[in-house]
Amino acid sequence: MTIREYAEDVNRSVEDIVKHMESLSMDTSDLDRFLSDDEIILLDNSFQDEEDYVEDTPDEEMIKDFSLDEKAEQIAYESNLTNDHEIKTSKVKKAKKQDKDKSNFRQERKKIYKHKEKLQSNEQVVDENVLLYKEGMTVKELADLLDVSTGEIIKKLMGLGIMATLNNSLSFDSVEVLALDYNKTVKKEETADISNFENYEIEDKEEDLVERPPVVTIMGHVDHGKTTLLDYIRESNVAGGEAGGITQEIGAYQVECKGKKITFIDTPGHAAFTEMRARGASVTDIVIIIVAADDGVMPQTKEAIDHAKAAKVPIIVCINKIDKPEANVDRVMTGLAQAGLTPEEWGGDTIVTKISAKTGEGVDELLENILLIAEMSELKANPNRYATGAVLESKMDKHVGAVATLLIQNGTLRLGDPIVVGTAFGKVRTLKDDLGRNITTAPPSMPVEITGLSSVPSAGDKFMAFETEKQAKQIASDRALREKQADTNRTGMSLEELFGKINEGLKEINVILKTDTNGSLEAVRSSLEKIDVEGVKINIIRGAVGGITESDIVLAGASNAIVIGFNVRGSNKVQDMAKEYGIEIRTYDIIYKVVEDMEKAMKGMLEPIYEEKVTGTAEIRQLFKFSKVGMIAGCHVTSGTIKNNDKARVVRDSIVIYNGSIKSLQHEKDQVKEMSKDHDCGLTLDNFQDYKEGDIIEVYELVEVER
C-alpha cells in the first residue's frame, strides 16, 4: 500500500505518518510510493502507546588470552552483530486492535502485506547425508545445514588456514572438506535459468492439483454473432449472480453454469489468437467456431478452423441464428465437413450445437458441452504456488501507468506479489476481477487486471510471480538483455533446415499451401500428402485458393511452417513480414518441382537453390494499341529499375498470370535499355498481350543462395 493509503488505513493524517517515517529514516519524497512489508511493521510499532526495547550491546572489553574455540565464537559473535553494518535496536511489536469501521477489503489487503503466505515449493527431497551446495553459500548457511554453531564452522576453517566471518561465501572445495568431518557428501545444486521461466514447467504433486475452470475462445466470420453470443452468456450467467446492467471491464470474464465456472476470452479475432500462440502463449483449452445458419461456412470461418486445428485444442461448432427463416443448417453441416470438421450427427467427432444468441435457445446446451469437454480433458492446476500465466491485453493509462489483463494459468496471484511480465517487472499494486472489483487473490483460470508494472507488456507475454521485488527486477533485466541479443522474431523454418530437424526426431512438417485454382490446390495437396520419407509426413495446416496473405505468415510463425505458393505470390508487405518472422516462402509453377524439392529436403539432398531478387516493379496505367506491334503497356516505375530483356512476371490481384521476359522498352519514342523509379515508359512482354490497367509487372533476377 502507498503512504497515503497507510495513513487512511490507520486513521492518521499524512503529515503524522511522514513525521514518524522521517524519525525512522524512511524515504518520504513520494507519498504515492509503495511501502515495503518491513516499513509497515516498523510504522505499526512506532504507534504503540507502550514500547519495549530490547537492546543488544557487545562487550567492548577484549579478552587477550583465549583458546581457538573462544576466538572462533568471538568472530561469529562480531560478524553477527555487524551483519547490517550497525547494531540496531529491535522493538517488540504488540498486538493492535483492529478498527471495527475498516472495510473487509482493507483488512484483507493489510493482512496480505503483513503476513504473506509462504507458497509450497516443489524441491525434491535430498538424502540427509548429502549436502546441496549453492553458489555463494555462506558460513551461516553451512552451519544451519549441518545443524552446528557458526563458531564451530569458523574454528574448523581457521584450522584449514581460512579466516572467515559469518557472512563470507565458501567455495565448493572448502565445503566438501568440511563436510567430511560430519560424514556428509556434497553435491552442487543444478540450477536452471529462472529468467527463462516460460521454457520450464514445474511438476506439481498429484495431491496438490485441483480442478480449474476451462478457458474458452470464440472465433468465426464477421457478423456471425460472436459478440451477441458473448453478451447473452455474460448477461445471464455471470459468476456471482450479478443482475442486468453488467459492465465488462476487461476483455475476458467468467460465467457460472451448474455451479462450475467457465472463463471466456474475448479476442478481436483469430489473428490475435494466433499471434499469442506465436509468442508461446497457449492460453485456450477449448475453441468455439461460430457459424451463421443463414450464411454458411465463409472464408474467415475456414481460417478460424485452420488456426484452431493448428493450436490442437478441442473444437465445438456453434451454428447460430437458427431462429431466422432463411436458416439452412444442412448447408452449414456440409461446409463444416468439407472444412474437415465432420459433425457427430454425420458420423464424425465434432460436437455441433445449434443456438440462437438472440433468443438464448441452445445456449445452455452449449455451456454444458463446454463443461463436458472440460471434464474429459481433466483440467487441473495447483493454487498453492506462485502464479504463472499470460498477458491477454495491455495499455498505458495516464493516471495509473501500465495496465495489463492477465490470465492466471497456474498458482495464485496475490495483491502485492512481485511479478515479471515479459521484460516488465513490478509489484501488483491493484488487482481487479472482470467486473472491476478490487480483490486480494486470483486463482487459476481467472482473468484479472493489474497495475504496478515498469512498462507495458505485449499480448501473449508470459508472466510469473516471485518472492521478492529485487529478484523480479533482476530477472526482468536478464530477460530484456537476452531479448535484445537474440533474434526473437525468428520463428519459422526454412526448407534447408528440414533435414536437420528430421535428424533431431521431427516426424511432421507443417506446410501452408496457396494456389491459383481449386484444381491446382487438390493436385498439389494430393502430391504432397503422398510423400513419405523415413516416416516423416507433410501436414498441410492450411490449403486455400488465392495470394499469400499476412494471415498465412502469422499462422506459419505460430506453427513453425513453410509457405508454398503455386502460381501465386504475396505482396511486398507480405514478403517483408515473412522476412521479419523468419518464414520461408517457396513459389512454384510446376507440380513435380514442388514434390521434388520437398523430397530432396526430407532426404537431406537439396541442390543449390536460387533466390528471386526483385529489381524493379511497375504499374500498368494505360494501354496503347499499334497495328505493327500490338498492345503496348504504358507503365509507371514504382520501385527499382526496369531493364530490357529482364525476367518479368505479371501479377493481377496477387495471382501470377504470366512469367517470361521484357521484349522491348521505350521512353516516349526512343528505345531505351532501362528505366528507373518514378519514370514512365512503354513496354512489351515476350508472347503476352493480355494487359490490364492496374496489373503489376515485377522484374527480377535469380541469385544463387550460399549455404
With DSSP H G I counted as helix, E B as strand and the rest as coil, what are the percentages for the chain, rounded to 5?
A: 30, 30, 40
> How many other CB atoms are there within 10 angstroms of residue 534's CB atom?
10
C-alpha distances in Å from residue 157, one per residue of 166, 184, 403, 511: 12, 16, 52, 64
- Same domain (yes/no): 297, 408: no
Q: Is 563 exposed, middle or buried (0-12, 13-18, 19+ CB in 10 A)?
A: buried
| Domain count for the chain | 5
Residue where a domain terminates, one of 151, 166, 191: 191
Are 373 and 290 in the same domain? yes
Annotated binding residues for GTP, as ranges?
Answer: 220-227, 266-270, 320-323
Residue 434 near residue 428, CB atoms below 8 Å: no
Distance CA 553, CA 482 (A): 25
pLDDT score recorded for residue 428: 94
398 SS3 class: coil
Mean pLDDT over each residue of the chain, to the nearest integer: 79
Q: Are strands 215-220 and 286-292 parallel, antiparallel or unpaired?
A: parallel
- Between CA 398 and CA 327 the distance in angstroms is 48
pLDDT tens digits for range 113-141? 443 333 333 344 456 788 888 877 888 88
| DSSP for 456-513, written as a single string | ---TT-EEEE-S-HHHHHHHHHHHHHHHHHS-TT-----GGGHHHHHHTT--EEEEEE
Question: Dmax over Cα atoms in the chain, in whole Å?
Answer: 121
| Residue 115, domain member (yes or no) | no
Q: Which of 613, 604, 518, 524 is nearest to 563 (CA)?
A: 524
Pairing type for strands 315-320 and 286-292 reads: parallel
Burial of residue 509 (number of CB atoms within 10 Å: 0-12, 13-18, 19+): buried
Phi, psi for 155 (deg, rounded to 5): -60, -45
Q: What is the pLDDT of residue 5?
A: 77
Give a yes or no: residue 106 inside a domain.
Answer: no
Instruction: Using alpha carbons, select from 558, 586, 581, 535 the residue that is nearest to residue 309.
Output: 558
Residue appearing with cell numbers 581457521: 158
| Phi, psi dihedrals of residue 105, rounded to the nearest 5° | -65, -40
Q: Angle at the Cα of 148 (from 142 to 152), degrees rounded to 5?
A: 90
For residue 16, tell me if it sits in a domain. Answer: no
Cβ atoms of residues 237 and 216 within 8 Å: no
For residue 404, the tally of other CB atoms under 10 A from its CB is: 27
Assigned domain for 7 exists: no
Angular region, 534: left φ>0, alpha ψ -120 to 50, beta rest: left
Task: For residue 322, give every residue at least 6 positions away whose Cβ sits within 8 Å of its Cβ, in sequence order, or none.
Answer: 293, 329, 354, 355, 356, 361, 362
The answer as to whether 43 is a domain residue is no
Residue 560, amino acid = N
Distance of CA 667 to the CA centre of its chain: 54
Residues 438 and 367 in one domain: no
What confidence score (pLDDT) does residue 115 get?
39
Burial category of 49 from C-beta neighbours within 10 Å (exposed 0-12, middle 13-18, buried 19 and up): exposed
- 18 located within any domain: no
d(CA 212, CA 123): 24
Gyration radius of the chain's alpha carbons = 34
| Domain shared by 457 and 333, yes or no | no
In a domain, 689, yes or no: yes
- Residues 452 and 421: their CA atoms lie apart, in Å, by 11
Q: Residue 508 belongs to what domain range?
A: 495-606
Contacts of 398 (CB under 8 A, 6+ apart): none
> Rounded to whole angstroms, how far apart are CA atoms 264 and 114?
34
Whose CA is closest to 685, among 701, 661, 657, 652?
661
The CATH number given to whatever domain includes residue 536 is 3.40.50.10050
Which regions of 337-400 does DSSP assign to beta strands (E)? 351-354, 380-381, 388-397
**Beta-carbon count within 10 A of 289 CB:** 29
Residue pair 288/319 in contact (Cβ under 8 Å)? The answer is: no
Nine cell digits for residue 106: 482493507
Give tens-digit pLDDT for 612-649: 889 999 999 999 888 777 889 999 999 999 999 899 99
Q: Do 673 and 646 meet the contact criterion of CB atoms below 8 Å apart?
A: no
Query: 197: which 3 cell numbers?
Result: 521461466
CA nearest 285: which of 371, 391, 386, 388?
A: 371
Q: Within this chain, do residues 232 and 363 fall inside the same structural domain, yes or no?
A: yes
> Which phi and psi angles does 210 have, rounded to 5°?
-130, 160
* Pair (334, 352) in one structural domain: yes
Q: Which helix (H) or strand (E) holds 428?
A: strand 424-432
Which residues does 500 contact at the CB level (< 8 Å), separation at least 6?
none
Binding site members: 220-227, 266-270, 320-323
Residue spans of the chain under pLDDT 50: 49-68, 81-103, 105-106, 108-125, 238-249, 279-281, 487-491, 605-606, 707
631 shares its domain with 685: yes
637: closest CA among 590, 699, 684, 576? 699
Give the CATH number, domain containing residue 628: 2.40.30.10
Smallest CA-to-CA distance from 353 within 215, 542, 216 is with 216
Examine the domain organization and report whether 617 and 602 are in the same domain: no
- Partners of 619 in beta bridges: 636, 696
| Integer Cα distance of 204 and 269 in angstroms | 33
Helix (H) or strand (E) holding 432: strand 424-432
Choosing from 191, 219, 253, the residue where a domain stops is 191
Same-domain status, 238 and 334:
yes
- What whole-number distance in Å separates Cα of residue 415 and Cα of residue 432? 10
461 within 8 A of 390, measured Cβ to Cβ: yes
3-state SS assignment for residue 599 = helix
The residue from 606, 628, 646 where one domain ends is 606
Residue with cell 439452412: 328
Q: Which DSSP letter does residue 198 get?
A: G
161: left (phi over 0), alpha (psi -120 to 50) or beta: left
Here the CATH number for the domain that contains residue 338 is 3.40.50.300
Backbone φ and ψ for 434, nearest 5 degrees, come out as: -70, -15
- Comparing CA positions, the residue from 7, 81, 90 lying closest to residue 52 is 90
Residue 445 lies in a domain: yes
Note whether 443 and 578 are same-domain residues: no
How much is the pTM?
Answer: 0.54
Name the residue type at position 527.
S
* Statement to judge: residues 400 and 365 lie in one domain: no
User: End-to-end CA distance of the chain, in Å?
Assistant: 58
pLDDT of residue 291: 93
Pair type for strands 585-588 and 674-676: unpaired
Please check whether residues 602 and 679 belong to one and the same domain.
no
Q: 589: closest CA among 501, 523, 688?
A: 523
